[in-house]
Chains A and B, each alone.
Chain A
């Protein structure tokens, strides 16, 4: 526990201050001195004066907990309201991005990838002090720290890295995103106790981003063995700033501070966590989270709907932290095989007809950021030029439709050969697209479209999308590396998979494969920028807004740091309450 006025005190510093206090220093309040006692933890260095003081009215620990809470800087419990139930607490097995918010508090990756002030990212040493990448991006060699201990007391070394990666590819683990993110994994080889080599059967340049994104937090090999490949998901043991304490299924997850934590990246705060405990409370209902935030049951409410965020800001009782996310923004895949969107001119007209800025400001109260590209700006390989392909221009949209032979009728709907310019829109429920889609439809009808919108549960919608019953669908994808484009534009992912634009372009397939085989960052980004430009020119996706991680909290909550997956870290979080 750190003492507020002294900042990052080490045990030696309070010991020295103790002597001062005994000698009559007046700078220390009683409260601070009590906190110091906790730092010393009943060790040999406690002076008789402190002992007497601590024991005068109860046990030292309970007093300190109370005083630390009042100090507003250290200790206390932070309760975060999240919207869905984690599928597992094993980052290697999970299929939910939300689990990564939790796992980044419990686990450390080999190398962190963190946002810098200028919005770019940098690699920061985690459990590996340095790393090397082979020229073809297929072999990664990591030199490991020697001072790291897991929550269960197991010492971290090369065997832990091997155990973690082998665990992800073990079929018994039933890994979801980890397995997908790992790609063509070959093996993890222990070179010596503190050097490990991870290799792939083919080049995999996205790996460094992927290993930092949360799925590959290094697990205690002893715990993996003890609990087994699926049992680990109920008993996660890592080396991060918080230890797993308990999980009431579907209700709440309680983490407690790891007092030994000393290997976190300086950007996120040095030393152990300031909170005593961190609780994730599952409240699926959007208004339930907002109500609980207002009544003080939650200190942070995650992903409130835009109207609640706007109300919270207006009340001036809460601050809003919005974290740009990485991957493909929320938007609508445009089916290139179904009439009328099989005509590129019609697709381009759609792109020109929609004003994303207006959508964000009028429907979403300015909470989100307008999107104009297939990748969000912080995603590597984002092409700024591609984002400028289509300005909002309804006149241009009309001209394109004229050019395509669609003639405006008296009912403000265009027709061609007796057919109406009709779009079939299918959305999957729960993604928050219902209301924004009404706005999109109103803008499309201004240039002569007519549209019908159906909302289906995800499982049903996915079948409609694969069979191509839609003109416009709904989409949005989190991914730490632009290789995620392969998930939704690859021509092999149309009948089964997520290519809901039904876009089949062998050149793009090859370009993406080539990019992922290019180790050099600049060359790889250039290839992805080229892919992005092609996709935008072909108008296969109508981007709407960037998927921002939204956190609403009282101003007293502090010390949060953004991550690249739209989340926050709690390494140096404080409740301030």
Chain B
């Protein structure tokens, strides 16, 4: 419990740091949000100036940052420049889509990657191993957005089996989850395969076999359990990459998620949205790493002891 509290406590400066960096970066991009918003809106120069004042962009930078922080402490992420809706509303309405996609992609990665890695690692050099290595090589080599386009062309446009864009059903989740998760499945396959080969050479496996343990028990209860720690850590670390990948996957499949929303908001210089999204994603990242640490602790008691010391 103290471990959890301490980890949460250490997240505060991290999130603060994230807000500062996000603030500085978005302001470092040249450009005036008021002009961007009013392009195409038949707006006079006076109207642009009025909007700039209304958005508070004529205040000193430090004031803008402190105002943002004080809002944040009160749980207010501000108001989107474009929609006049609260940033919290904009983010909350899009977050489920991204969370579902990220989780589905991780499920694909685990369901495909772990068994493939196990099979390849347990029988290195066999045909199965060659296939697993080929699949994981292709998975790492083919960018997910290209894979997504190929899958859509084949499975949606040609064969009409799966929806080309998100239709809100589980069926509509298959293509985005597979195209996003495949690369991570490949990483997991390689990782698990390598670990299993290594564990098979270790003494405890030899002694387990000597005790007369069955091959399956050796593989699943001993070798896999010891290989799972780097795998879990990798999945946790990859979560940030999955969010980045989600941005592009969301655009391709017309999913209204956080990633694509953040991308358009950056190019529109919708400052409150960018700051809000970065804070939320930052907190999410901190939480995921906490969960990963807890899971690793549950799997491997050694890390718990190390943490308590």
| A binding-site residues for B, Cβ under 8 Å | 81, 85, 87-88, 93, 95-97, 171, 174, 176-177, 179-181, 230, 233-234, 248-251, 281-285, 287-289, 291-292, 294-298, 429-430, 457-460, 462-463, 466, 477-479, 484, 486-487, 490, 492-493, 496-498
Contacts and interface: CB of A to CB of B under 8 A. Distances in A.
Nearest to A284: B251
A288 B42 contact: no
B40 A477 contact: yes
Contact of B49 (A234, A250, A289, A496): A496
A430 B251 CA distance: 14
A292 B160 CA distance: 10
Contacts of B82: 87, 95
B115 interface: no
Given A250-B260, A282-B256, 12 more contacts: A177-B43, A179-B43, A181-B42, A233-B85, A234-B85, A251-B255, A285-B251, A285-B253, A292-B254, A459-B32, A484-B42, A496-B45
A459 B36 contact: yes
B165 A283 contact: yes
A462 B251 contact: no
B149 A287 contact: yes
- Between B35, B42, B90, B260, the greatest number of chain A beta carbons within 10 A of the residue's beta carbon is seen for B42
A283 B255 CA distance: 8
Given A460-B29, A479-B42, A294 B157 contact: yes
Contacts of A297: 163-165, 167
Nearest to B93: A249
B286 interface: no
A459 B270 CA distance: 10
Given A95-B37, A288-B251, A179 B31 contact: no
Nearest to A89: B83
A295 B41 contact: no
Contact of B30 (A250, A460, A479): A460
A459 B153 contact: no
B233 interface: no
Contacts of B256: 85, 248-251, 282
Contacts of A296: 160
B130 interface: no
A577 to B, nearest CB: 15
Interface in B46-104: 47-49, 51, 54, 82-85, 89-90, 93-94, 97
Interface string B190-227: 00000000000000000000000000000000000000
A558 B264 CA distance: 33
A234 B160 CA distance: 35
A252 B106 CA distance: 26
B48 A463 contact: no
Contact of A292 (B33, B48, B165, B255): B165
B179 to A, nearest CB: 13
Contacts of B84: 88, 93, 174, 230, 233
B44 interface: yes
A524 B34 CA distance: 31
B228 interface: no
A533 to B, nearest CB: 23
B32 A462 contact: yes
Nearest to A293: B164
A458 B269 CA distance: 9
Contact of B43 (A176, A291, A298): A176
A458 B254 contact: no
Contacts of B45: 490, 492-493, 496-497
Given A249-B90, A295-B156, A462-B39, A285 B29 contact: no
A560 to B, nearest CB: 22
A283 B176 CA distance: 14
A470 to B, nearest CB: 14
Contact of A462 (B35, B90, B252): B35
Interface residues on B, range: 35 or more
B84 to A, nearest CB: 4
B232 interface: no
B36 A462 contact: yes
B289 interface: no
Contacts of B251: 284-285, 288
B147 interface: no
B110 interface: no
B267 interface: yes
Given A250-B256, A295-B160, A459-B29, A496 B48 contact: yes
A314 to B, nearest CB: 15
A242 B80 CA distance: 28
A180 B254 contact: no
Contacts of B267: 429-430, 457-459
Nearest to B269: A459
Contacts of B144: none
A497 B29 CA distance: 18
Nearest to B35: A462
Contacts of B39: 458, 462, 498
A179 B39 CA distance: 13
A486 B49 CA distance: 17
B33 A180 contact: no
Given A297-B163, A462-B36, A177 B30 contact: no
Contacts of A93: 84
B164 A496 contact: no
B11 interface: no
Interface in B16-35: 29-33, 35
A298 B156 CA distance: 13
14 contacts: A174-B51, A176-B38, A177-B42, A230-B84, A289-B165, A291-B157, A294-B157, A295-B163, A459-B267, A478-B40, A486-B44, A492-B45, A493-B45, A496-B35
Interface string B242-286: 000000000111111000110010011100000000000000000
- Between B43, B163, B251, the greatest number of chain A beta carbons within 10 A of the residue's beta carbon is seen for B43
Contacts of B264: 85, 284
A344 to B, nearest CB: 26
A164 to B, nearest CB: 18
